[in-house]
Amino acid sequence: MKLFLPYPPSVNTYWRHVVMGRSARVLISKKGREYREAVCRIVLANRVHGETRMPGSRKLAVKLTAFPPDARARDLDNLPKAVLDALTHAGVWADDSQIDALHILRGEKRPGGQLVVEIEALCAIGAKPWPEVA
């Protein structure tokens, strides 16, 4: 499965820490909720021929290719959490704990940014869905 998603908000703006009474809570920000809903719409639009959800027992490999919206420095390790949570919320898989291989690549900048997500089932232990990077 291959999905073309908008570039996600940064981890720093995806969640908000709020104090309610005596307890602190972490909530998804307005920007984060808007991103989740955009991902849900894209996933729904890509369900052209039946259900695309990966069964809950399957182990998965996910490849993220990030095309940032501008030339600012960005840490790739801040990218996957919001995206994987949004894809879980959209019902692509039962839980992101199914992911046994996660590859993150940086592409060239694109106006508005884009994230290409490729998802494959891991069929066998040690299976490599993508070739090694030299």
Domain boundaries, the chain: 2-121
2-121: in CATH 3.90.190.10: no
Give yes or no for a contact between 112 and 69, defined as CB atoms under 8 angstroms apart: yes
Give yes or no for a contact between 24 and 18, defined as CB atoms under 8 angstroms apart: yes
**How would you write the pLDDT of the chain (134 residues) with one tens digit per residue?**
899 999 999 887 877 888 888 888 888 889 999 999 999 999 999 874 444 566 666 789 999 999 999 999 989 988 899 999 999 999 999 898 999 999 999 999 999 999 999 999 887 555 565 555 54
Q: Which residues make Cβ contacts (< 8 Å) with residue 66, sequence separation at least 6?
A: 7, 74, 76, 79, 104, 105, 106, 107, 113, 115
pTM over 0.75: yes
Query: Of 87, 100, 75, nearest to 4 (Cα)?
Result: 87
